[in-house]
Structure 1
Amino acid sequence: MAEPVSLDARTARLLPWLVAVAFFMQALDGTILNTALPAMARDLAEDPLRMQSVIIAYMLTVALLIPASGWIADRFGTRRVFFGAVLLFSLGSLFCSLSSTLPQLVGARVVQGLGGALMMPVGRLVVLRAYPRSELVRIMSFITLPGLLGPLIGPTLGGWLVEYVSWHWIFLINIPVGLFGGLAAWRFMPDLRGSGPVRLDLVGFLLFGTAMVLITIALEGLGELHLPHVRVMLLLLGGLACLAAYWLHAVQMESPLFAPSLFRTRTFAAGILGNLFSRLGSGALPFLTPLLLQVALDYSPAKAGMTMIPLAISAMLAKPLAKPLLDRLGYRRLLLGNTVLLGGMIASLALIDTDTPYPLLLLHLGALGAVNSMQFTAMNTVTLLDLDDQQASSGNSLLSVVMQLAMSLGVAVAAALLGGFGKPDAESVLEAFQATYLCVGVLTLLAAAIFFQLPPDSGRAVHHVGRDIDE
């Protein structure tokens, strides 16, 4: 690894705060929006059950750009790229607040996503290059803590703003933070570049990106877009064809976007595929649950936001338990049991109705948050566990892409199921939610078959990975 760059004392002290603010902005934005969807739908004259494109547009844009983030930073310098990312995110937030139609809002979310896709990876890259390895655990723990606070504050703040001000303010609050962050980035962000010329695998980037877009639109076509089944099938087959073309292209490239040789590492292959399928449920939860509470159970936005708090608190409390449990059980046993438990708990949300006691609902969501948090930590760590230094960068980028893609697919699948189970009469809305939770839970549970392919002794010899990703 290259020697860390020399920072003056003030920059070394303030840089972690700068990156942490960017992490917080993105984490807050990702959770504050869900509680506001029904109010936004009413204002835009849309069906609240058809608002998933607002979430998917952002997630998909982030997933598309993450593979190129390292090349962009090396090519244009970390200071300019990070400053531009914060500016784009803030500008997208302004456009979101000014949107008067759903297509305008989706377009504004794409602009936001262009900034969000670069903020986190470039922020992590700067920290990795600017601090010695001995400091990385401390610095990375500091800058990722706001990412855990975002889900804690977001739903409650979003519900409060919607109920007492308007949904526009969930985007407007990003602007002063973004302006401050942009000025601080220009002043304190080191301008780091790659040590030599790095070529972007443009063909691979286009093939991989096209595959993700086509597959996601195909799934959306079953839900919000109401596309004919023939068109959905054509989009899906086109996406799979692009994915196959990328694989054939990558096999013969010296430096592909993501090397197929990564999948020769068994823990990486199982971790990536397990991430993709088990995150369908985790990605659907933040979209489905606020809608269930407001549309089917008639909660106010503020109460719905407060109800989501146990998910975030228990997720934070469960983090310290991950390492002792992994040391005791190993990755295979923990992921097998935890995936079955996660799928079962998501499916059991189908039992919630208007007669469910409120304390029992809070307890259920709290337990679900803890299990979900354990799942993230275990499966993300096992993915990178056995990669060497040369593979780690590419493997980490692919993991980041899969995480974003799986969450957007989770929303698309949940919305498609919700639309398929829904009927014109309002009484069937709760039944549609219950059937959707049941299906999503079963899909999540099936990912246990992937983790069953892990070697029985996975993680026994290695108890720490330098760059653990928890979210």
Structure 2
Amino acid sequence: MTKASTHTALLWIVATGFFMQALDTTIVNTALPSIAHTLGVPALAMQPIVVAYTLTMALLTPASGWLADRFGTRRVYFTAILLFVIGSLCCASAHTLNQLIVARVLQGVGGSMLLPIGRLAVLRTISGERYVSALALISVAGQVGPILGPTLGGWFVEAFSWHWIFLINVPIGACGLLAVNRYLPDGASRDTPRFDMIGCAMLSLCMVACSLAIDVPMHSNRAAWSACLFVIGLAAALAYIPYARRAPNPLFRLGLFREPNFSVGLIGNLIARIGSSAVPFLVPLLLQLQLGYTPLHSGLMMLPAALAGTVAKRWIAPLIRRFGYEAFLLVNTLIVGGSIVAFALFSRGTPIAIEIAVLAVFGAANSMQFAAMNSVTLKGLSMVDAGSGNSLFSMVQMLAIGLGVSIGGGLVNLFAAEWGSAALGFRLSFICVGVITLISALVFRRLDNESGGRPAPIATRAAQR
């Protein structure tokens, strides 16, 4: 086989892995009511199966590059696909909510390594201008997954059963395993520096504690448990600061935060994504539980948001060049937050054209928001810090998705219990998560305009995700 053919096969392997990972973050959402009915639990108690997947990926993402260096790209990527497939089979075989949560954790272990290691394999194999084109192909797979996910999930539920949203990964993964052994480079190194296990454990404890603090079950001591877990998470984060100053090779150098836009972008990303990440979880539940939509219909209703987001990506660079990051993010954040609040107006009497228009506005603005936030956060980092900064940034993205689902689902349960109306619970929850997104506009006002409004190469690659 020629070198060009080998490169093409490598790109398809990595793109397929990214597709599976991206698909699994959205395909579950439209099937949640059906899964809940089978398992005998309320649909609004299903957020742990989403949070378990995203939080696991956040915890293990920093270790993926080290594992590839230490044990070889081919071996680790093969293991990642294998774990993802085994986790998918366990998800389809689950008979209780706890079993499904454990299976989603196993899926997340494999999913956490698919994109970072695949991207590393492409970087080591393909260089020059072809690398940019290769990343563009991989990013398309990441965009197609969320577009097909909700509709495919709804169709599987109606045509077969919810189990097929997980079983679909098995034949795809089997083909991937065969291709990895043949086409993926090895790349193991005996000179790999030691991995910072202590630093990783501190930050992992911080993320887990903060996530559990929001997801504490409803009982009389909930406030005390939540406060205790938040304190543990904060203490772990603060303890990392003196540790990183002394450690010879910390997981994330404190020097990353001397770049002002990185710090501001990281905080703004976390707050903005908490609000917008609740939408893919709450909207299908609203459409099915309150408006009477079928799983397939609710999945199709998510298409306008995904398609509008894909189309809007081409507008980002011209708008940023004209208005700058601060002005663009300020206005666009208001649009994203406002469109989330508008979901509170959805009812059985709302014309479907208005629902589609709101979803399309949210999808377009949210897509541009993500790309602009990614770009401004990473564009000022040096080449030395780019890899580490991107890894930390990926952790925050995954953490925000989990927090958004936990906060969104928790608010619906809280308001529904307080006011005795699930419909009112959904309305108030959309208002709250929309306001959370709007708050991030205040954070983006602190961006450093001296670094310029022109997207840098690192930022351009980030915007493709």
TM range (shorter): over 0.9
Aligned counterpart, 2:447: 454
1:239 to 195, 211, 233: 233
- State the 1:382 CA deviation: 0.8
- State the 1:467 CA deviation: 2.9
Verify: 1:282 aligned to 2:276, yes or no. yes
1:429 to 406, 413, 422: 422
CA contact (8 A) 1:31 1:286 kept: yes
- State the 1:252 CA deviation: 2.0
Aligned residue for 1:257, secondary structure, equals coil
> Within 5 A, what are the aligned runs for 1:188-199?
188-194=183-189, 196-199=191-194
2:52 to 51, 57, 61: 57
> Within 5 A, what are the aligned runs for 1:66-465?
66-194=61-189, 196-221=191-216, 228-423=222-417, 428-465=421-458
- State the 1:424 CA deviation: 8.4
- State the 1:91 CA deviation: 0.5
Aligned counterpart, 2:43: 48
The 1:194–1:366 alpha-carbon spacing in structure 2 relative to 1, beyond 3 Å, is farther
1:333-386 per-residue CA deviation (whole Å, 9 max, x = no partner) reads 111111121111111211111111011101110110000000000000111111
Q: Which runs of 4+ in 1 moved over 6 A?
A: none
CA contact (8 A) 1:222 1:416 kept: no
Gaps of 5+ in 1: 1-6
Question: Which sits farther off after the overlay, 227-236 or 447-456?
Answer: 227-236
- State the 1:154 CA deviation: 1.0
Aligned counterpart, 1:10: 5
Aligned-partner Cα distance in 2 for 1:124–1:303:
35
CA contact (8 A) 2:90 2:100 kept: yes
The 1:323–1:249 alpha-carbon spacing in structure 2 relative to 1, beyond 3 Å, is same
Aligned-partner Cα distance in 2 for 1:130–1:440:
43
Aligned counterpart, 1:4: none
- State the 1:418 CA deviation: 1.1
Aligned residue for 1:447, secondary structure, equals helix
CA contact (8 A) 1:86 1:181 kept: yes
- State the 1:287 CA deviation: 0.6
Aligned counterpart, 1:24: 19
The 1:244–1:191 alpha-carbon spacing in structure 2 relative to 1, beyond 3 Å, is same
Aligned residue for 2:304, secondary structure, equals helix
Aligned residue for 2:28, secondary structure, equals helix
1:236-272 per-residue CA deviation (whole Å, 9 max, x = no partner) reads 1111111111122112223211111111101111111
The 1:33–1:227 alpha-carbon spacing in structure 2 relative to 1, beyond 3 Å, is farther
- State the 1:470 CA deviation: 4.2
Aligned-partner Cα distance in 2 for 1:357–1:325:
32
TM-score normalised by the chain length of structure 2: 0.97
Aligned-partner Cα distance in 2 for 1:461–1:277:
24
- State the 1:10 CA deviation: 2.6
Aligned residue for 1:221, secondary structure, equals coil
1:33 to 28, 33, 36: 28
Kindly provide the amino acid, as one letter, of the partner of residue 5 in structure 2: R
Kindly provide the amino acid, as one letter, of the partner of residue 418 in structure 1: V
1:157-191 per-residue CA deviation (whole Å, 9 max, x = no partner) reads 11111112110011011100000001101111111
**CA RMSD of the aligned region, Å?**
1.6
Aligned-partner Cα distance in 1 for 2:94–2:73:
31
CA contact (8 A) 2:277 2:400 kept: yes
Gaps of 5+ in 2: none
- State the 1:193 CA deviation: 2.9
The 1:444–1:54 alpha-carbon spacing in structure 2 relative to 1, beyond 3 Å, is same
Give the number of aligned pairs.
463
CA contact (8 A) 1:422 1:429 kept: yes
